[in-house]
Structure 1
Amino acid sequence: MASTRSDPVLADPADPGFYPPSQTALLLLDFHEMFLQHAGPSAVTAVATAARMRRWATQRGILVIHALIDTSKLAFPSCKDANRYKTIVAAMVSSGTSAEPTSLTDGADAEELIFTRRPGHISALKSSGLMDFLQERGIASLILTGLSTSGCVLRTAVQATDAEFVVTVVRDGCADADEELHKILMEKVLTSRGYVMNAAEIQEMYE
């Protein structure tokens, strides 16, 4: 079990170890098959890591949330790249690559939920109803995996920390087509907003 509020060593509410599994959620961000195909060679590793994290979270009683793009909607009118998003979504639908890999969906139970957002909204917290749901469930700590690091992972992490969540990004559970950018974000940007840890380190924290 994770250390709890009574643990004198981890009595800092800014530390992810401060929160028990019941106040923690694992977010699987934009693991659409199309994005997997374009996120570089490290994307395969990221999906495998996310699948392991998903199984681990379920066993630990940590809420698992899938955050995806709603391919039935168009980008909002003021979106700068609305036409590009329209093209991407149309390609996802026509090629049948809008779904997640089966390794991230097999055996899902009733507690494992999907939240979707309109194209053009990058942060998962823009998904309809997600913020209210997290608040209702008393979630205070978010663990993020996803594609891509420079897209939904970064934007979700920034919005989440501004919304006063403790955020931990799974280094080996994320990928980006630009591997150098992925490295810079992990080492120099995301660490200024929250925590960046490998999956094994996160799991060890809860042992």
Structure 2
Amino acid sequence: MTESQAASNYAGVFGNRIGFGKSPALLLIDFVQAYFDPDCPLFADVDDALASAIRVRDAARAAGVPIIYTNVVYHPSMVDGGRFKQKTPLLEVFKAGSPMGAWPQGLEPNADELVISKQYPSAFFGTSLAATLTAMGVDTVLLTGLSTSGCVRATCVDTSSHGFIPIVIADACGDRHQAPHEANLFDMDAKYADVVREAEALDYLAGLKG
């Protein structure tokens, strides 16, 4: 099936737009050193995604929008890695204390910004994220992070499942190959989220000031 055939197959069935809500939070998913160190098996060419995420983060700070970061942290024994670790043994780079779990330059959280540590792809699974967002009165989650086909997608689906509006910022997401990156952006936009460009997200955040 060609790209145009795929698009026409979705037309009129998927792709409805939700739109931005009134009370957003920004989620920065797994922007950690493992993806930026060429010697790490998780290395990916995602510098542009990080740069975009930092610009969005700075705009969210200026607008007073809650900012939440996620990382992946395992017990040194990997006993909490479960089937995910069994399927993907290289997750051992995220054992507690590993330098691969450090924040890349420019993304260090402020003291008043929340960090949620997880063991599985979705930022919601086994964490307090849904309860935290609900308590904050959040209706919209701006999604950025790594990787598009993995933890971003899993979190996007759960964002929708928990009743929040998922807005995926395409420029601020990255993957280790362009094909799964683009395919998952297409599918998330069709079924679960509104996928937007950085400029649209920045305009939205600027409109929230004051």
C-alpha distance in structure 1 between counterparts of 2:188 and 2:122, whole Å: 16
C-alpha distance in structure 2 between counterparts of 1:93 and 1:115, whole Å: 14
Unaligned runs of 5+ in 2: 1-16
Residue 89 of structure 1 deviates from its aligned partner by: 2.6
| SS of match in other structure, 1:201 | helix
Residue 162 of structure 1 deviates from its aligned partner by: 1.1
| SS of match in other structure, 2:163 | coil
C-alpha distance in structure 2 between counterparts of 1:154 and 1:193, whole Å: 9
Matched, 1:57 2:60: yes
Residue 49 of structure 1 deviates from its aligned partner by: 0.6
| SS of match in other structure, 2:50 | helix
For 1:150, give the aligned amino acid.
S
Residue 93 of structure 1 deviates from its aligned partner by: 5.8
C-alpha distance in structure 1 between counterparts of 2:58 and 2:94, whole Å: 31
C-alpha distance in structure 2 between counterparts of 1:15 and 1:154, whole Å: 19
Structure 2 residue aligned with 1:133: 132
Structure 1 residue aligned with 2:85: 82
Structure 2 residue aligned with 1:4: none
Matched, 1:114 2:115: yes
Tell me, yes or no, if the aligned pair for 1:154 and 1:190 is still in contact at 8 Å: no
Count of residue pairs the alignment pairs up: 185
Structure 2 residue aligned with 1:195: 194
| SS of match in other structure, 1:116 | strand
C-alpha distance in structure 1 between counterparts of 2:134 and 2:193, whole Å: 19
Q: What is the CA deviation profile of residues 82-137 of structure 1, one whole-angstrom value per residue up to 9, with x for unaligned ones?
A: 3455542346668611111131116x141x1101112xx11001252222111111
TM-score normalized by the length of structure 1: 0.79
Residue 168 of structure 1 deviates from its aligned partner by: 0.5
Structure 2 residue aligned with 1:68: 71
Change (3 A) 1:90 1:153: closer
Structural RMSD (CA): 2.4
Change (3 A) 1:199 1:127: farther
For 1:26, give the aligned amino acid.
L
Tell me, yes or no, if the aligned pair for 1:26 and 1:144 is still in contact at 8 Å: yes
Q: 1:46 aligns with which of 40, 43, 49?
A: 49
Residue 174 of structure 1 deviates from its aligned partner by: 0.5
Spell out the pairing of 1:140-155 with structure 2 (5 A cutoff).
140-155=139-154
Identity across matched positions, percent: 25
Unaligned runs of 5+ in 1: 1-12
